[in-house]
Amino acid sequence: MKGSSAIAVWSQHRKLVAMRLLLLLLVLFGSLDGQAQRLLEYLDRGLLVLKTSEHSNYISWRLLATDDYAQAFNIYRQYDGQKKTKLNKYPLTKGTNFLDDAVDNTRDVHYTVATLVGKKEKEEAFVVVKGTDPVRTYLEIPLRTPAGYVPGDVSVADLDGDGSYEIVVHQTGKAHDNAHNGLTDEPIFQAYKLDGTFLWEINLGKNVREGAHYTQFMLYDLDSDGRAELVCKTADGTRDGKGDIIGQASADWRDTMKNSSFFGRILTGPEYLTVFDGLTGEALSTVDYLPARGDLQSWGDKNANRSDRFLACVAYLDGTHPSVVMTRGYYERTALAAWDFKDKKLVSRWVFDTQQRKHPYSGQGFHNLAVADVDQDGKDEIVFGAMTIDDDGIGLYSTGLGHGDALHVSDLDPDRPGLEIFSIHELKGGRQGVGAALRDAKTGKILYKGAIDQDVPRGVAANIDPKQKGAYMWWLGAESAYDMQGKAVGPAPKSVNFLIWWDADLSRELLNSNRIEKYQQGEIFEAKGALSINGTKNTPNLNADILGDWREELILRSEDNQTLRIYSTTIPTDHRLYTLMQDPQYRLSIAWQNVAYNQPPHTSYYLGTGMDKPVKPNIQLVKPERQQQAKVPKPLYRDPIEDGAADPAVVWHAAKKCWYMLYTNRRAKSAGLSGVSWVHGTAIGIATSKDAVHWQYLDTARFDSPKSTATLWAPDVFYHQGTYHMYLTVVPGVFEHWQHPRSIEHFTSKDLRRWTYQSTLNLSSDKVIDACVLALPQGGFRMWYNNEKDGKSVYYADSDDLYTWTDKGKALATRGEGPKVFAWKEQYWMVVDTWKGLAIYRSTDLLQWNKQPELILDKPGISIDDAVVGGHADVIVEKDRAYIYYFTHPGRTSQNKGKDDYEQRRSSVQLAELHFADGKLSCVRDAALFADLER
Ligand SMILES: [Ca+2]
Ligand SMILES: [Ca+2]
Ligand SMILES: [Ca+2]
Ligand SMILES: [Ca+2]
């Protein structure tokens, strides 16, 4: 989305800024007393623009933890075809938000946010507000809600690796609590990009019961490869995002006997834990769920009311890498199982299991949990209700206060060292005890006891009073709110539910259902037309800082259940904080927010009235080089003359120090061309690029060939000792059908634009096309090409000097064209276009070729012009990364079968990265790609 001028600015100042960033990182993170750095997701600027009226837009963006606190920003507005206008008089160094209150919103408006380092500017984010966009303070995501379903819990993570969040929504049909019998609908997950693009659907199937306590899903980059995974409990019949079934498809483990005392329950059958690829929904690793249900009675009953109480979280148990923790039971026997996801496999890290009800850690769990580094050693503990488990899976302490419904962990009392935990407790049936407690998070020492002998179902602790420093505690039935010393300080808020940072001050507002209130001041916002979820719990689908400045966005479903709305504050503030998502405790509390009875997230530091400037987190971004590289656009390139760029060949122009792309330019735009004459009479187009990411049209190549009116196809360009050699497919004329001879001609050039004819190669037939040349390790050169007369199989020829070629016959029996051979990962690879995707062959001697069963680029992608098969490719290997340049016919979708118009004829060039694992090449075409091939 960056404009071309952004790139120009960046190219000039790349090195300077990179050095400065490195210095900054060293200053920030180099001296933190030996603790390991947590691997955290890379985030972009999160630029958000909301049309607040016909003449005003609210603009908000992220300060990143890697920014200097004094980082200055500039904001630019631009109307179509006009110059940019800087909106701020002085560089912005306060809040990371801006109100443009003098805009003509009937027109399309472009906004750019630029960072300033000294006098050097870098454009970092870009958003267009359309003249046709409605005035409203939310973004809307259309959903594919199944009939009878309601969009429920939402989680966010970066599924495609571009630094912007995607969302996963748990679509819920008919559900039952563990306490009740009855059949339920199948739990469904759907993933979407924030622009509404649908990614995938996972259906957990009939053997997973729907209800608040059964399905906890964690969305997080568990293997720190730059893209998040989804992990949850699965069963026989779970269908992944690619349509594949886990376990036995036909198995039905439900009790379907209407008269049974266990009707609708699932008391037997295998239970699995599965990691799904976040971008495709494909199941990557499935293991038996730990802890197994075993003897149901060991959990406290026979109907799985206690055994099937599940919770989950993500925690940095080693201080650097995230682990996922899945739990079972909390009323009595209690178990937690920690897993690592390494090399695409789930590996058990530890299991904590009280085994029986008398254990001091039994019966302490809540309907939710929290993760925090309570002892400040850099590794996370799991706050499991009234007890806490240390990072190594050993109990840290148990207060014995017993089960409850809500807990809040943060630096609630900023005048006391360390974190505090506020919790409420269930005292059913006249049981005596503590209904509300504040404890030291590290030791479990009780600091305050309240609600003595009261059964407390709801409670909250947070700084809600802008006039006072520190948190207040209150609960349902409390006579007043209490400060951290337990002193009554004022009326208890009526709302005992969620919290949200929404207005201009630092203290937090009260969020209940679709309303936001300010303590002692009343309602300040209502999301009209939107609803909360989880029945009487009235929670948001999600409440998290996912866009714009540090204040939290509110995600709610629309009344008709067909969309999700992402509401943001539009109240400017001067307070500047780095995005809450880069505070590890807050980020992890977004991962666990959806668990059972949802609870609001908290930061690891005190964020409220009278706060200190937060210490920067001890984090290391996954693939931070993305900040220095360009995001690869989709499509990569379209030819501006004929719009038929195909068969790309990418080559480095040593003298000009830039990349050239030469391509067949099919005549897609020329009307009235019958048959296949539009792929004849083609010139070779040329585009150039500094970084091989952003391309500009240059010209067509000039040939001194005697067949100047001929059809030119599929250039292959090979550089050798100061000369470029082109092996070009030439058809002697313009034809409406394919029944004419074709030959491969050899040209040379010094500048990649003017080409001198050398010879027409004597190859195995008079219908040969699509050459590619490689230097042989023992000296000499080899060419592969397609011999159409032999079933379109790949043939080869050898040469000592690139001029004289000896045909060697068949290289491999295949039907395909455009062979491209390259060396990577200590072997040779050949990519062949089979018209159904690209086939991959591998070789160690360039003679014996072994086919890999899997094609690449065979399944449609989701990006612009990429929802069809990929064709005829070139591959560039640069700094051990392999980039594939391929072309698509965007209009040749299955719906358009049989059509042959401009839309089916036009073509686009695309760029993706190849990956090597387990001896195979793969390509995730929808994964965001950041690259910089500037030499
Ligand atoms: Ca993303
Ligand atoms: Ca990952
Ligand atoms: Ca710790
Ligand atoms: Ca925000």
Which ligand has the shortest distance to the CA of 418? 3
Q: Hey, what amino acid is at 200?
A: W
> For residue 131, how far is its CA from the centre of ligand 2 (angstroms)?
38
Ligand 4 center to 550 CA (angstroms): 5
Check: CB of residue 321 under 8 Å from CB of residue 341: no
Ligand nearest to the CA of 164: 1
Structure tokens at 122: 């870098």
CA–CA distance, 620 with 174 (Å, rounded to integer):
43
Distances (CA, A) of 575 to 46, 69, 90, 505: 17, 11, 17, 8
Please name which ligand lies nearest the alpha carbon of 46.
4
Element housing 585 (H / E): helix 584-592
pLDDT value for 533: 97
pLDDT score of 81? 87
CA of 244 to the centre of ligand 1 (A): 24
Dist. CA 221 → ligand 2 center (Å): 4
Q: What is the pLDDT of residue 814?
A: 87
Q: Ligand 3 centroid vs 372 CA: distance in angstroms?
A: 7
- 595 alpha carbon to ligand 3 midpoint, in Å? 22
The rounded Å distance from CA 59 to ligand 4 centre is 11
User: CA 305, CA 299: separation in Å to the nearest integer?
Assistant: 9
790 Cα–ligand 2 center, Å = 44
591 phi and psi angles, rounded to 5 deg: -65, -40
Distance from residue 682's CA to the centre of ligand 1 (Å):
38
For residue 799, which of 816, 785, 787 has the smallest C-alpha distance? 785
Query: What ligand is nearest to the CA atom of residue 586?
Result: 4
Those residues whose beta carbon sits under 5 angstroms from the ion ligand 3 are 373, 375, 377, 379
Ligand number nearest to the C-alpha of 381:
3
Ligand nearest to the CA of 566: 4
For residue 882, give the H/E element and its range: strand 881-888
Question: 164 CA to middle of ligand 1, Å?
Answer: 4
Do residues 607 and 551 make contact, with C-beta atoms less than 8 angstroms apart?
Answer: no
Ligand 3 center from residue 531 Cα (angstroms):
38
Q: How far is the CA of 391 from the centre of ligand 3 (A)?
A: 6
Low pLDDT (below 50) residues in the chain:
1-17, 19, 22-32
CA of 548, nearest ligand number:
4
How many whole angstroms from 224 Cα to the centroid of ligand 1?
A: 14
pLDDT at 710: 87
CA of 223 to the centre of ligand 2 (A): 5
Measured in angstroms, how far is the CA atom of residue 928 from the centroid of ligand 1? 7
What secondary structure does DSSP assign to 491-547, as a single string? EPPS--SEEE--SSSSSPEEEETTEEEETTTEEEEE-TTEE-BSGGG-B-SEEE--S
CA 55–ligand 1 middle distance (angstroms): 31
Count Cβ atoms below 10 Å from residue 36 Cβ, excluding itself: 16
Ligand approaching nearest to the C-alpha of 225: 2
Nearest ligand, measured from the Cα of 570:
4
Q: Which ligand is nearest to the CA of 47?
A: 4
Q: Which ligand is nearest to the CA of 60?
A: 4
Alpha-carbon span 234 to 275, nearest angstrom: 10
CB 341 within 8 A of CB 314: no
Gyration radius (Cα) of the chain, Å: 31
**Predicted local distance difference test score (pLDDT) of residue 705:** 77
CA of 583 to the centre of ligand 4 (A): 13
Say what the pLDDT of residue 708 is.
58
